[in-house]
Amino acid sequence: MEDLTKYAHSPVHLAVLRRDYAALECIIASLPKLARAGEVTTEAESMAAELQAEEFSSMVDRRDVPGRETPLHIAVRLRDPISAEILMSSGADWSLQNENG
């Protein structure tokens, strides 16, 4: 069993660890939507999209937890396909590595 206090600062990690799919979807729904290819046509739009992507990533791809695991790492480790699907469909970065590579 995970010590959830080590994840208290990361609501996305906690939702995955608790298998609280409603909370996970609610958190993700509250984040800025990532721009799709072709939607960004000006420099101002590009800068705004970059800020939105950073805000999104700071929640969904966060790694300041034990083992430097993202929420997606935890979903896979726990064999939780629902959390993994929610994270992947929202744009989680599957290429990030934890402290073990």
What lies within 8 Å, CB to CB, of 56 at 6+ separation is 31, 32, 34, 91
Interval 45-59: pLDDT, tens? 899 989 998 988 889
pLDDT at 63: 93
DSSP codes, the chain: ---GGGGTT-HHHHHHHTT-HHHHHHHHHHSPPPPPTTT--SHHHHHHHHHHHHHHHHHHS---SGGG--HHHHHHHTT-HHHHHHHHHHT--TT---TT-
Q: List the chain domain ranges.
A: 4-90
- Looking at residue 32, what is its pLDDT? 86
pTM: 0.84
d(CA 93, CA 77): 16
- In this prediction, residue 1 carries a pLDDT of 67
Q: Please report the pLDDT score of residue 92 as a whole number.
A: 93
Residue type, 64: D
Sites in the chain below the pLDDT cut of 70: 1
Residue pair 51/42 in contact by the 8 Å Cβ criterion: no
Half-sphere exposure of 10 (CA within 13 A, CB side): 27
